[in-house]
Amino acid sequence: MEERWSLNALYESFETEKFNSDLNTYKKLLDDIVIYAENNFSDTENAGKKLEGFIALYLDVLKYAELLLSFARLILSVDVNDENAVKTLDVLEELTTRITGPEVAAMNFVSKVAELDTVICSSSMLQEHTFAIYEMKQKAEHLLSEAEEICIAKMETTGSAAWEKLRDQLTATLKVDITIDGAAKSEPLTVIRNYAHSPDAELRKNAYECELKAYEAIDKSAAACLNAIKGEVLTVSALRGFASPLEMTLKDARMDRNTLDSLINAIKKYLPAFERFFRHKAKLLGHNGALPFYDLFAPLGKSDTQYTYDEAKGLVVKNFSLFSQRLGEYAQRAFVHNWIDVYPREGKTGGAFCSGIHPIGESRIMLNFGGTFQDVTTLAHELGHGFHNECLKGQTLLNSYYTMPIAETASTFCETILINAALKDAPKETVISVLNADLTDAAQVIVDIYSRYLFETEVFEQRKDGSVSVDELKEMMIWAQKEAYGGGLDHNILHPYAWLPKSHYYYAHSNFYNFPYAYGFLFSKGLYAKYLREGGAFVKDYEELLAFSGQNDLRGVGLKAGIDVRDGAFWESSLKLVEREIDEFIGL
Ligand SMILES: [Zn+2]
């Protein structure tokens, strides 16, 4: 069986009448909303009616955008050479930029409405969108004039966005010289960095040394990119009236400072547990004391069990059903209705993802299933995203958008269900292998993420006083790694260039793309801990939390399941679960 997904619930092809008539409808709706904004937002008389009309139109625009764009993107993801899809996607993306004008106008309009509360209460449709409307008002507080907004958007394409592309190009085209088994080769950075996961100890060390050496050819250029991007962010966030780039990031993430502080403090408290993990791993690998950086990702134990796709499906349905019937049935439905594109093939992109298509109430999942245990957990992970979308089905599109820190909640949760099941009754060698892989991942999202958060904070601080040199960046990184890893890593064998291969530091439109990973991981673990305590009674709260994740700030989302994310005790309960796993690993 080929196991390709079916997109027929969207369209059968770009040529069908349905696709073309939807495209025409989309164009017409965009014209309509532009005119609507021009005609209605000059004064706030009849504000309720005007806002209702806008939201109705906006929901329609968003619906067609999602239908059409999803189809083109999904086709392209499994066939990068489909020229028709490339062209259509270009057209659609260009068209979609037209929505920015009406969006800005609507935000400004909402901010001018006096007694917004009363206006919202006058209509059930507005009431349903209370959160979205207040978010528009909040965003308007940091908007500049329309002329300035357009100017910034245009300058960014030749500024930060261009610098970001240059950094991508530098790392994508960098060739690393390496000698393996006596043969000299020149390999791309991604290949070299992948050797960190090799069972061959000598290769891991060799690859790390060659990687560091190779960066010398591009470090000054990459540092120039970083300086330019962070400089622009400092300028723009100040213009918008934010106290710092971090404050701007928190607002976008719907997160408050108290919550971030509680999260970070809890992480700091548990760093010694991870230190014990690293030192034990070092011992198993034959090192004396701390772990050298090049062995951070070293595999341990043995797990060469292979799974057929049918076996993977069986495992997922069985274990999901133990959590809740609804979750098990959801997975079953995804399998039966061909929502999943399973195997690798030529022209298909790498990795895995889940894409929710809200207007049809379904998701599509792309995998590159190869039969390892990791592939089975990836299947569970992506189905978790799908289930999140399933829970959001009853909400309007505008109420279905959630922010990055919450995005990995349901996926990590489903992964945890599967890993815990796999660890039960498994032979010791498999347990070592699975625990090592799981804890190595956890250490990345907790300890390494903490080092990245420290580093980025320091870069912004120093960038305020002018450009930061390569040597300064390397020093800051070493300092951040020492702070985060403590005695877990050998202080003479760290990674001073860790700011170079990570694209997150260079994103033109998001900063501090680090703590959201820790948040999502620990939030999900905390929910799992609650599930272990409460059992079946927890399931309803969990689904409720997912269903309302698009119309609450992060604190509100947590409160849906009785969790206060401002409370450090919650984060510590999650970290305690990880610590327990570390103790189990050490005790093996
Ligand atoms: Zn994910």
Residue 375 Cα to ligand 1 midpoint, Å, equals 13
Ligand 1 midpoint to CA 220 (Å): 33
**Distance in Å, CA 183 to ligand 1 centroid:** 38
Q: How far is the CA of 459 from the centre of ligand 1 (A)?
A: 28
Q: Cα of 409 to ligand 1 centre, how many Å?
A: 9
State in Å: Cα 383 to ligand 1 middle: 9
Instruction: Say how many C-beta atoms besides its own lie within 10 A of residue 188's C-beta.
Output: 14
- Over 80: is that where the pLDDT of 314 sits? yes
**With 90 as the cut, is the pLDDT of residue 374 above it?**
no
| Predicted local confidence at residue 351, as pLDDT | 82
243-268 residue pLDDT tens: 999 999 999 999 999 999 999 999 99
Question: Is the pLDDT score of 576 beyond 80?
Answer: yes
Distance CA 151, CA 141 (A): 18
Percentage of the chain modeled with pLDDT above 70: 100
Amino acid letter, residue 107: M
Mean pLDDT score of the chain: 95
CA 406 to ligand 1 center in whole angstroms: 11
DSSP string spanning 525-578? HHHHHHHHHHTTHHHHHHHHHHHTTTSS-HHHHHHTTT--TT-HHHHHHHHHHH
Distance 366 CA to ligand 1 centre (A): 12
Contact 192, 205 (CB under 8 A): no
Q: How far is the CA of 45 from the centre of ligand 1 (A)?
A: 45
Residue type at position 49:
K
pLDDT band for 154, please (50, 70, 90 cuts).
confident
* pLDDT tens string 418-443: 999 988 878 888 899 999 999 999 99
- DSSP-derived letter for residue 199 is S
pLDDT value, residue 317: 98
* Distance from residue 353's CA to the centre of ligand 1 (Å): 7
Q: What's the CA-to-centroid distance between 381 and ligand 1, angstroms?
A: 6
pLDDT, tens digit, 9 for 90 and up, residues 219-246: 999 999 999 999 999 999 999 999 999 9
Centre of ligand 1 to C-alpha 369, Å, is 16
Q: Rounded to the nearest whole angstrom, what is the distance from the C-alpha of residue 412 to the centroid of ligand 1?
A: 7
> In angstroms, what is the span from residue 66 Cα to ligand 1's centroid?
20
pLDDT tens column, 60-119: 999 999 999 999 999 999 998 899 999 999 899 889 988 988 999 999 999 999 999 999
Q: What is the DSSP string of 7-24?
A: -TTT-S-TTSHHHHHHHH
Secondary structure element (H or E) that encloses residue 103, with its range: helix 100-112
Q: Give pLDDT tens digits for 499-520.
A: 999 999 999 788 999 999 999 9
Q: How far, in Å, from the CA of 436 to the mean position of ligand 1?
A: 20
Q: Separation of 74 CA from ligand 1 center, angstroms?
A: 17
Of 430, 388, 383, 424, give the one whose Cα is nearest residue 409: 388
* pLDDT tens-digit readout, 156-194: 888 998 999 899 899 989 999 999 999 999 999 988 998
Number of Cβ atoms within 10 Å of the Cβ of 16: 11
Centroid of ligand 1 to alpha carbon of 399 (angstroms) = 20
Give the predicted TM-score (pTM) of the model: 0.91
Q: How far away, in angstroms, is 214 Cα from ligand 1 center?
A: 31
Distance 566 CA to ligand 1 centre (A): 24
- Distance in angstroms (rounded) separating the CA atoms of residues 383 and 395: 20
Residue 453: both structure tokens together: 């958060």
Range in 507-511, 546-550, 571-575 with the lowest mean pLDDT: 507-511
Q: 473 C-alpha to center of ligand 1: Å?
A: 30
Cα 364 to ligand 1 centroid, rounded to whole Å: 13
CA of 337 to the centre of ligand 1 (A): 22
- Could you tell me the distance, in angstroms and rounded to a whole number, from the CA of residue 469 to the centre of ligand 1? 35
CA distance 487 to 290: 6
The single residue listed with the structure tokens 């305020």 is 464
Q: What is the pLDDT of residues 345-357, one digit of tens each?
A: 888 888 889 999 9
Whether the CB-CB separation of 458 and 476 falls below 8 Å is answered with yes
Taking the centre of ligand 1 as the mean of its atom positions, its distance from the CA of residue 407, in whole angstroms, is 7
The rounded Å distance from CA 130 to ligand 1 centre is 28
Instruction: Give which of 513, 515, 532 is closest to 574, Cα–Cα.
Output: 532
Mean pLDDT of 50-65: 98
Q: Please, what's the b/e burial string for 193-208 (b: 16 or more CB within 10 A of its CB; e: otherwise)?
A: eebbeeeeeebbbbbb
* Ligand 1 centroid – CA 411 distance (Å): 6
Question: Which ranges constitute the DSSP H helices of 122-256?
Answer: 124-128, 130-140, 146-158, 160-173, 189-194, 201-215, 219-239, 245-252
Distance from the alpha carbon of residue 518 to the mean position of ligand 1, in angstroms: 13
Tell me the two tokens of residue 248.
Answer: 């701007």
Distance from residue 385's CA to the centre of ligand 1 (Å): 7
Phi, psi of 185 (to 5 degrees): -140, 165
Query: Residue 300: which of 436, 450, 106, 99 has the closest Cα?
Result: 436
Q: 279-311, pLDDT tens digit by residue?
A: 999 999 999 999 999 999 999 987 678 899 999
Ligand 1: centre distance to CA 410 (Å): 9
Q: What is the pLDDT of residue 151?
A: 87
* Ligand 1 geometric centre to CA of 413 (Å): 11
Q: How far apart are the CA of 146 and the centre of ligand 1, in A? A: 36
- CA distances for 210 relative to 111, 183, 206, 243, 285, angstroms: 55, 14, 6, 41, 21
Give the range among 4-8, 407-411, 445-449 with minimum mean pLDDT.
Answer: 407-411
CA of 11 to the centre of ligand 1 (A): 26
Distance 93 CA to ligand 1 centre (A): 24
What's the CA-to-centroid distance between 111 and ligand 1, angstroms?
Answer: 35
Residues 6+ apart with CB under 8 A from 305: 373, 430
- Ligand 1: centre distance to CA 405 (Å): 11
pLDDT confidence bin for 1, thresholds 50/70/90: low
Rounded mean pLDDT of 126-151? 92
CA–centroid distance, residue 394 to ligand 1 (Å): 22
